[in-house]
Structure 1
Amino acid sequence: MKAISYSRYGGPEVLEYGEVRDPKVGPDTVLVKVRAAAVNPVDWKCREGHLDSILDAVFPVVTGWDVSGVVVQPGASVTEFAVGDEVIGYVREDFLSRGTFAEYVAAPVRTLARKPRNLSFEEAAGLPLAGLAAFQALTKVMEVKAGETVLVHAAAGGVGSIAVQLAAHLGARVIGTASEYNHDYLRSLGAEPVTYGEGLAERVQELAPEGLDATLDTIGGQTMKTSADLLTPEGRQVSIADPEVVRYGGLYYFVRPDPHDLTRLSELADEGVVSVHVSQTFPLERAAEAQRLNQEGRTRGKIVVKLDRPEPAPDYESAL
C-alpha cells in the first residue's frame, strides 16, 4: 500500500511517499480504509526524535496518529465494529511504526469510536487527538466547572479551538489567546479573545481582575509562567506541550486513547457542541508539506491529509 514513512529521524525531507508493507490485522485490531488523517505537532516531534526516550521507533515508521475512515475488516476478537462502519481514531500505540498517513491502518479497538454523522471525513479526522487532549485536560485533570474562568492558550489552534467549545459547554467563562486575525473566530466559538505576546498578563488581568480558575497551555515556554501568575490561589494549570510546567505548580498531561471519551466527543459533535475547522487539505503524497506548514504553528484549526481514491483493500486471509 501507499504511505508516508520515514526510516530515520530528521526534518520533513526524511518523509517518503511510496510502498510499505500491508498492515496485519490482529485479533483486537480493525483494518480501516483511511479517508483522511489530520496533522498534529506530535507528528513532526516524533519524526525529529523528540519522543525517542518514551517510544521505540520500528523503522520504517508510517507517520500520523489521527484518522477517519471505513472499516474493511474487523479482527477475530472484535465485536464492536463491522465492515462498512465509519470510524475515527487516535491510533497511538506504545511504539512508532504503523501510523495513519497511509491507505490503510490496522487500528486497535481501544483507539476507535464511530465517526460523527455531522462531520465530513476531513473534519472528523481532526477530532480525535485534539478533542481528547482538550476533553481530558478540562474534565478529568482540571475538572472545570460552570462559573469558572478558564484561559486557553493558542485558542484558534487544533486543541485550543475544541477546548474553547468544550469549556463554554461546561458553563465556564473562556478567555482565549490568539492573533487579532482570529479574534472573530474565537468569539464565534464562545471565547473572549486577547492578543498574545508582550503585555498579555495585563490584558488578561483587565478581563479577569480576580484571577483565573484554570489555564490550558498548548504552547509551553514563557506562557506557563504568565499563566501561573494569573491564577487564583486554588487555580489549576495544565500543559499538554511542555513538562516544565511542573516548575510553575502545574501538571503536564499526555493525551491517551480512550474509546469512551472519543465516543462522547463524537456525540458532542453530532449535538452541534463541537465543530472542527479544517484550514487546508493536502493529498497523501504532499504530507511532508502539510507537516512543514503545521510546524510553523500559525494554523487556524486543523491541517488534514485527504485520501480520495484509495486502492482496493488487501486480500487478507482469516486469522481464525
Structure 2
Amino acid sequence: MRPVSYARATAPAEAVAAVAADPGGAYLAGGTTAVDLLRQNVLRHDRLVDIGDLPLAGIEETPAGGLRIGALTRMSDAAAHPLVRERFPLIAEALELGASPQLRAMATMGGNLLQRVRCAYYRDAVSPCNKREPGTGCSALGGINRGHAILGTSEHCIATHPSDLAVALTALDARVHTLRGAGERSFHIDDFLLPPGDTPHIENPLEHGELITAIEVPDTPTARTSRYLKIRDRASYEFALTAVAATLRLENGRISGVRLALGGVATTPWRARHAERLLLGAAAEPGVFDEAARAELAEARTTPMNAFKAELARRAVVRVLRTLAATPEGQA
C-alpha cells in the first residue's frame, strides 16, 4: 500500500475545500470499500480526509412527506429507523440484505452509493480494465463474466453496479444532494449513477471534492406495500445475481400504482419503466406479471456464462409482484 496522508474535517465546507485542493485527495467515511482498494493499489489516493465527524447523519421528515437521510447515516441505523421501516420497507430490506451486520454498522448511506464495482478484473489491479485505466480494454468481455451485467452494457464495460440500496432508491425516484465549492447541487438518482457508454471510468457526475450530504426520498404512497427481493449464490453476505425492488397498489384487482427496479443484472440500477407501463391498469395476474417481465428483459445482451440471469430476473419479478399482490395492504 502506498503512503497516504490523513486529515480530519470538522465542517462540510472545510472537507470540500481540502479534497478539492488536492488532486490526489479523497474522502474517508465508513471506509469499508475504500481501504481495501487502497491496499490493493486499485485506488491511488495520496490523501484521505476523514469526514466521520461531520454533522451529516440522521433521518428527518421533509415538508412534502418524504424522508431526508444524511449521507453519513450508518446503514444499520437507516434500516432500523421506524419511519424507514413504516413508509419504505424496501429500503430497510435492501440495507439488511446488502452487507454483513459488521459492515452495516460502519458503512454510510452516501458511501454505499459510491462503492466501486465488484468485477474481479477491476480489483486485481493488473488486468486490462477501462474503469481503472481508460482505454486498456475490458477483460470481462472475453473472460469469466458469470456475475456481470446483461442490461445497460457497452463494448467498454459489463460490470454490474454493486449497491442494493441504490436499486431501492431508483424505484423510489430518490434525489442525491451534494456540496461543492460553488454551492449545493441536487441530482435525480437516474442522473447520478451513470451507465458506462464510452466512458466507464466516469460513474457519477460529481466534481473532484464534491461531497454527498443527503439522500432525499419523496413521498411514495405505494411504497408502504413494497419488497426487495435479492437472489444470490449463498444466503450469507454476497452480492446479487439478480434483485428486484418493487412497490404495488391495487384497486378492484387492477394495478393502480407500480414501481420496479432491477439489481445485479445491469451496469446501473435498472428502472424497469417498460414493464411499469405494461402493468399499470392491468389485472394483477401472474400471466400479466410474466409478460411485463419478459418485455423488460427483451433487450438483454448476454454471454454464454451469464445468460441464465435473464430467466432468473424474469422469475424474480413475477415472484415479488405475486407476493405484493397477495398482501392485504396493497388492496385499495
Q: TM-score with structure 1 length normalisation?
A: 0.25
Greater relative contact order (Cα < 8 A, sep 6+)? 1
Where is the strand percentage greater, Structure 1 or Structure 2?
A: 1
Q: TM-score with structure 2 length normalisation?
A: 0.25
